[in-house]
A and B are shown apart, each in its own frame.
Chain A
Amino acid sequence: MREKILAAIDKNSKIPAADLAIMLGTTEEEVVSTIRQLEEESVICGYPTLINWDKVECERVTALIELKVTPQRGLGFDKIAERIYQFDEVQSVYLMSGGFDLTVILEGRTMREVASFVSEKLAPMEAILSTATHFVLKKYKEHGLPLVQTKHDERMLITP
């Protein structure tokens, strides 16, 4: 049931528990208590809203920064990752395989703001060997959901 509930709300956290119970063939109580438990276990970590900021009159830039870092003895990459993700500007931090170590996704109001964050906050950290900043020009899809076009139902109204 846990996996079923998670799969069902992965793309839409707004489904009411009562509806979810009907759709999954269980009781509302079970859905509510399972979700509460998943929240307590930090399996469910939050319920953000997927917003296409491009459509809003509001300056915002997203940048993806590749970092090469020196892991610290006994702590690996976790310590440096934590130092980075504590900043409010940082949206995501991933440890990567391959040519670099950490991917940091930053959000700022202007390119200048992002640039100064990288040069003043990130680059000077002792463990950070190099940074490469890529600005996002347009977002097409996020969290498995397309941000660009909305699809219309093109089917005929009645078919056999």
Chain B
Amino acid sequence: MRNPLAKVVVDMPPSGIRKFFDIVSEMKDAISLGVGEPDFDTPWHIREEGIYSLEKGKTFYTSNAGLKELKQEICSYLKRRFDLDYDYNTETMVTVGGSEAIDIAMRAMLEPGDEVLIPQPCYVSYHPCAVLAGGKPVVIELKGENDFKLTRQELIAAITDKTKILVLAFPNNPTGAIMDYEDLKDIVDVILEHDLIVISDEIYSELTYGRGHVSIASFPGMKERTIVINGFSKSYAMTGWRLGYAAGPAMIIEQMVKIHQFAIMCAPTASQYAGVEALKNGDPDVEMMRDAYDKRRRYVIHSLRSMGLECFEPYGAFYVFPCIKSLGMTSEEFATKLLQEEKVAVVPGTAFGECGEGYLRISYAYSIENLKIALERIEKFVARHKK
């Protein structure tokens, strides 16, 4: 038989997180601080709206780019929260989670050989999506001493005449880092000068603590060259609904809708109706969850620091990214031993890029009771292995 597989796919390494997932699932009674999704259920009024749409028989395709009502709500939300002006009809589209938007944005824009700048550590899908779209991923290794923000110098050093796209993912998974107004201002003129397009994954935009989220698209000249990706998974605890969206220049969105139309048709209809309710009436839920995350965030940072682990203060998402270099172990060693000895699962930083070596991703999307037990075990582990 002929080889049925495509080389580009075969050559793609499986997600680093997958490997660890397999080890963890062998352990029956492990407690995990390893998830990348909220522990809250989707607020009831949002679920109820999804159910009601089914009862009413809203079980058909919507238009490819999404329900008009939802796109209008998205636009008014982006305006209200981040001062972004988009036309619902030509500049926004509804996708199957933020993930689809990442994929089709790359596919709509990349030509063979185009370089995509990917600051790591980051979410696992930008790199493979760029490869599958025929582009060439170029990794920028972010540094702990800069609190894992992208600096102007790092950006300039990575740009070549082939660079086309910069991926910005702040608030960041796995580090919890954010880029505030000043940080972004520092890189905007570099982006403009080199005529780069930005894919800005702002899926954690509602989860910032003590300081608001700033979208790079809100800077003068940036809206024309930015695809803003956002969604419902993190802010409204709606991961399983698979609902996200992209907003950007009409000429790019139009082409993204084309791919979406042929590959996906449309985002799930019940999810879209639930999404309308989320944007209309979900603000208090977001606030309640943000407040709960913030309490846990303080608790986790405090615990990690008091056991002697260096841990920069993350102002976004629901992760902390402590440094474990002082223990003289690699991230994977640490995570594997911690699992074997104390039955706590955390994700090695290397799952998010090589520069995550020496760090761990700890998620605080868990109840305080759960965090407390897990952190006590980590403390025992650290005390035992301290040099």
A8 at the B interface (CB under 8 A): yes
B299 at the A interface (CB under 8 A): yes
B347 at the A interface (CB under 8 A): yes
CA distance A115 to B345 in the complex (A): 56
1/0 per residue A1-14: CB within 8 Å of B?
Answer: 00000011000000
A44 at the B interface (CB under 8 A): no
With a cutoff of 8 Å between Cβ atoms, the chain B residues found around residue A23 in the complex are: 295-296, 298-299, 368
CA distance A153 to B33 in the complex (A): 12
CA distance A8 to B20 in the complex (A): 35
With a cutoff of 8 Å between Cβ atoms, the chain B residues found around residue A156 in the complex are: 21, 35
B15 at the A interface (CB under 8 A): yes
With a cutoff of 8 Å between Cβ atoms, the chain B residues found around residue A153 in the complex are: 39
Asked whether A158 lies within 8 Å of B21 as measured between CB atoms, the reply is: yes
With a cutoff of 8 Å between Cβ atoms, the chain A residues found around residue B123 in the complex are: 160
1/0 per residue B90-125: CB within 8 Å of A?
Answer: 000000000000000000000000000000000111
Please give me the residue from chain B that is nearest to A24 by CB atom: B295
A25 at the B interface (CB under 8 A): yes
A159 at the B interface (CB under 8 A): yes
Asked whether B299 lies within 8 Å of A157 as measured between CB atoms, the reply is: no
A15 at the B interface (CB under 8 A): yes
B254 at the A interface (CB under 8 A): no
A22 at the B interface (CB under 8 A): yes
Please give me the residue from chain A that is nearest to B17 by CB atom: A160
Asked whether B17 lies within 8 Å of A22 as measured between CB atoms, the reply is: no
Asked whether A160 lies within 8 Å of B368 as measured between CB atoms, the reply is: no
Asked whether B37 lies within 8 Å of A155 as measured between CB atoms, the reply is: yes
Interface size on B, residues (CB 8 A): 29
Asked whether A157 lies within 8 Å of B296 as measured between CB atoms, the reply is: no
Q: How far is the CB of B236 from chain A (nearest CB, A)?
A: 16
With a cutoff of 8 Å between Cβ atoms, the chain B residues found around residue A7 in the complex are: 291
Interface size on A, residues (CB 8 A): 16
Asked whether A159 lies within 8 Å of B299 as measured between CB atoms, the reply is: no
Binds A, one of B24-32, B241-249, B325-333: B24-32
Residue of A24, A151, A160 most packed against chain B (CB within 10 A) = A160
Q: How far is the CB of A7 from chain B (nearest CB, A)?
A: 8
A19 at the B interface (CB under 8 A): yes
Majority SS of interface residues in chain A? loop
CA distance A14 to B162 in the complex (A): 59
B36 at the A interface (CB under 8 A): yes
B356 at the A interface (CB under 8 A): no
CA distance A24 to B209 in the complex (A): 12
Residue of A7, A15, A155 most packed against chain B (CB within 10 A) = A155
Partner of B347, one of A22, A155, A158: A158
Residue of B17, B123, B295 most packed against chain A (CB within 10 A) = B295
CA distance A128 to B291 in the complex (A): 46
Asked whether B37 lies within 8 Å of A158 as measured between CB atoms, the reply is: no
Q: How far is the CB of A142 from chain B (nearest CB, A)?
A: 17
Residue of A8, A24, A159 most packed against chain B (CB within 10 A) = A159
With a cutoff of 8 Å between Cβ atoms, the chain A residues found around residue B41 in the complex are: 151
Partner of A160, one of B15, B39, B299, B372: B15
Asked whether B345 lies within 8 Å of A157 as measured between CB atoms, the reply is: yes
With a cutoff of 8 Å between Cβ atoms, the chain A residues found around residue B39 in the complex are: 153, 155
CA distance A151 to B41 in the complex (A): 10
Q: How far is the CB of A159 from chain B (nearest CB, A)?
A: 5
Partner of B25, one of A25, A151, A155, A157: A157
Please give me the residue from chain A that is nearest to B31 by CB atom: A157
CA distance A7 to B284 in the complex (A): 14
CA distance A15 to B299 in the complex (A): 12
Asked whether A158 lies within 8 Å of B298 as measured between CB atoms, the reply is: no
| A19-B368, A155-B39, A159-B35 known; A25-B24 Cβ under 8 A | no
Task: Please provide the chain B residues from 360 to 381 with a CB less than 8 Å away from any CB of chain A in the complex.
Answer: 368, 372
| A15-B368, A153-B39 known; A158-B299 Cβ under 8 A | no
B residues at A contact (CB < 8 Å) = 15, 17, 20-21, 24-25, 30, 32, 34-37, 39, 41, 123-125, 173, 291, 295-296, 298-299, 302, 345, 347, 351, 368, 372
5 extra A-B contacts, CB within 8 A, seeds A23-B298, A158-B24: A7-B291, A24-B298, A155-B35, A157-B30, A158-B347
A residues at B contact (CB < 8 Å) = 7-8, 15, 19, 22-25, 151, 153, 155-160
Ranked nearest first, the 3 interchain pairs of A and B with the lowest CB-CB distance are A23-B295, A158-B34, A157-B32
Q: Give 24 A-B contacts (CB < 8 Å), ordered by A residue.
A: A8-B295, A19-B299, A22-B298, A22-B302, A23-B295, A23-B298, A151-B41, A155-B37, A155-B39, A157-B24, A157-B35, A157-B345, A158-B20, A158-B21, A158-B24, A158-B32, A158-B34, A158-B345, A159-B34, A159-B35, A159-B36, A160-B36, A160-B123, A160-B351
